[in-house]
Amino acid sequence: MPQQTLRNTKRARQLRNAATPAERQLWKYLARSQTGAKFSRQMPVGPYFADFLCRELKLVIELDGHSHDFAPERDLKRDLWMKGKGYAVMRFTNAGVMANTEGVIAAIETRIDELREQVSPHP
């Protein structure tokens, strides 16, 4: 019988309820597969929680606020761990999402297309 991994759904729910304005803004575009890929919010990925995760493409979207400026080594460690597990990680600042939501969405859609191309390249 396959071993089931317990997920910290209580913590994920807390993080979703405490979403920043930038996370709420971006979710308006990522919800309901509007970008062509299905995303979930605040999903456990190993010892971390991804702000947004597309399981199918192993794409993690992270939004960074001011607290990330004080400990960039934590983000680097996290990104290296995720990349080591096969995840692609995109990072945007909260300010960038609020100032240029359309540009952020365009970058995400481009990355989705690139990842899909890697999975099933055209002949």
Q: Residue 102: which CATH number?
A: 3.40.960.10
Domain presence at residue 93:
yes
Domain presence at residue 4:
no
Above pLDDT 90, what percent of the chain?
69
Q: Write out pLDDT tens, residues 36-47.
A: 999 999 999 999
- Number of domains into which the chain is organized: 1
- Residue 90 · residue 107 · CB < 8 Å: yes
**pLDDT interval class at 120 (50, 70, 90):** confident
Domain presence at residue 97:
yes
Domain presence at residue 32:
yes
Distance of CA 77 to the CA centre of its chain: 16
How many angstroms separate the CA atoms of 49 and 61, rounded? Answer: 11
Domain presence at residue 46:
yes
Domain presence at residue 83:
yes
* DSSP annotation of 70: S
Domain presence at residue 15:
no
Structural domain including 42 reads 20-115
Please, which residues have CB within 8 angstroms of residue 42's CB and are 6 or more apart in sequence? 12, 13, 15, 16, 19, 49, 50, 51
Least confident of 17-21, 56-60, 112-116: 17-21
Q: What is the pTM of this model?
A: 0.83
Q: Write out pLDDT tens, residues 91-108.
A: 999 999 999 999 999 999
Residue 30, judged by CB atoms within 10 A of its CB (0-12, 13-18, 19+), counts as: buried
pLDDT at 3: 44
Taking 90 as the threshold, does the pLDDT of residue 8 lie above it? no
Domain presence at residue 1:
no
